Chains A and B, each alone.
Chain A
């Protein structure tokens, strides 16, 4: 399944797209009183499954706050947040934790791998969190590592891997529990152009699943070509949503 660059070939699994994420009138502010700073203003957004959406905009425009709310790791002040038919804004913290465990995969700018675990063990973490038996979890993690082209690096420690390889391990970790939503924060920011392209190729290949949404926050205009749509943000508001014609 992986090509010579370690990236996926796009899978022809896409069927009919449906709304994976629906936000209505979502607001968010930090602080109280005079120091209150509103960072999101009445966000309305719909993201369909089976596509890769790029969330772009200048620093401080609220991109990270928005994906944090979508991912259920930050509470909005008001508004409706529906992820794959479930109202996140009505869930308790515990319910959100369980929801994230089951439905959401994360990819971070700094990879956030555990330095004392091997690549294989890092990939298996979400499965351990779901109480999958250790051997079974490691077997599934090994399969996922093979999918991202790092089978031979399974026993390497993160510091023994290049930046691109570490990000691929992080992608394998994000995908190993088959999440419906993949949230990626600046996944190419720490990588050179070529490696960034390989990583985006990998993300693109997993986004074609009709039951999955992939949202990528990025500043990196070198990877815009991988997006099916671009959500442009500015000053806490969505300025435009553009469906890209080059997509697939």
Chain B
């Protein structure tokens, strides 16, 4: 029986996102929908998020007008689909410091935040470089570092240095250094509480789509990195391999939150607001949110 109930909750989307950014190489294969989403876990008295999403107030209009991000809804509306309020969230794992993953820390006033130390260290360093280095800070928001200070002052910012097991019961974190970002982190949920088979990995942006783990030719599978990294493609490929090995090669267990096909891989429901709720696992006694 699962220890945690797990959902992936869409909160906005880019309807037509170039596939060549999701996967390095296919420059002429058009666009796909790119959902913006975070994962919600409930179990053992904990309400956990993997990533926070972003706050529309700060730059939502800019994103909508200039970059085609549509249908944004804040965490109060999104989490309500699973009967959760932002104040209920006890812990948040931040996979990396991009705006759409770390940009709403202030909306979860009671949560502790777990992030890789090297991610914050190197973002701080990169954000102080001159404008000619702005490629290195694309998607990073100085205000998020200020929020991290505020959380640290309240004792709610926990910097993790590398891999760590059982950060919370059955939840391990792993550093994927110099990949998509400087200190990207992926999260393993051992949902049978042991080292057993019911294992899910939340990949952050180490992969955008299952295709990153399989390639596009089913007769010759390969790992193909995403199309954007400040680290190396080499490191992205090997972190992909590591995640895949950890789940015994079962691709669907490595969850890319930006993958639109999650809704057809797992039970799902489209909400009245036009957002997908994807149900990965249900703990004992938990009611389905997609039935």
Tell whether A and B belong to one assembly: no
Residues of B within 8 A of A (CB): none
Residues of A within 8 A of B (CB): none
